[in-house]
Amino acid sequence: MRLHHHTIASSVVSVMLFVYFKSWGLAIGSFISGIFIDLDHIIDVIREHGWSIKTKDFFMICNNGQFDRVFLYCHGWEWSFLFLITAWVSGWNPWLLGISIGLIHHLILDTIYNSSNPYSYSFLWRWKHDFAFDKIFTKLINLKYNYRKQISAEINKS
Ligand SMILES: [Zn+2]
């Protein structure tokens, strides 16, 4: 799912949380984690494509699945549930609960939008599959290779 979609979804969820619970911690925690979890894409892009990537290329790489391996360190159901358990142990600290809500709704949306397999957003499951993009994001394989064909055709034309 794209960044502007996550920003809209996080805004809606956070406003709803604030309206219902009147908690800034809950609302802000959810808003921030629901968007900034995607910062882990930067690590994968730099690892596979180097440091010289421009912002425009960064989004083209991410939106067209241009990866051989994807670690996505922050995308993990495991981390969401760890935050949820930590929130519970802390007596439902609103910031910790908000962060877990933000992570969970982000991963649900990513699962629906990017992958037919909910395990794709399990860090342990990705690890078991050696973080191989083609094994993890089977729904995006056509997008990935069609984009590569398109780029090759454009290079051959010029
Ligand atoms: Zn994401």
N-to-C CA span, the chain: 32
Which pTM was predicted? 0.90
Burial class of residue 99 in the structure, from the number of CB atoms within 10 Å of its CB (0-12 exposed, 13-18 middle, 19+ buried): buried
Q: In the prediction, which pLDDT does 2 show? A: 85
Residue type for position 123: F
Calculate how far, in angstroms, residue 72's C-alpha sits from the geometric centre of ligand 1.
8
| pLDDT digit string, tens, across residues 46-78 | 999 999 999 999 999 999 999 999 999 999 999
If one counts every other C-beta atom within 10 angstroms of the C-beta of residue 6, the result is: 21
| pLDDT interval class at 152 (50, 70, 90) | confident
CA-closest candidate to residue 131, choices 40, 50, 64: 40
Ligand 1: distance of its center to the CA of 106 in Å?
A: 6
Q: What is the mean pLDDT of the chain?
A: 94
Q: Residue 37 has what pLDDT?
A: 96
CA of 8 to the centre of ligand 1 (A): 13
Neighbours of 104 (CB within 10 A): 20
Structure confidence by residue, pLDDT tens digits, 112-128: 988 668 899 999 999 99
151 C-alpha to center of ligand 1: Å?
25
Measured between alpha carbons, how far is residue 68 from residues 23, 33, 83 in Å?
42, 26, 29
Q: Find the 155 Cα to ligand 1 centroid distance in Å.
A: 30
At 83-96, the pLDDT tens digits run: 999 999 999 999 99
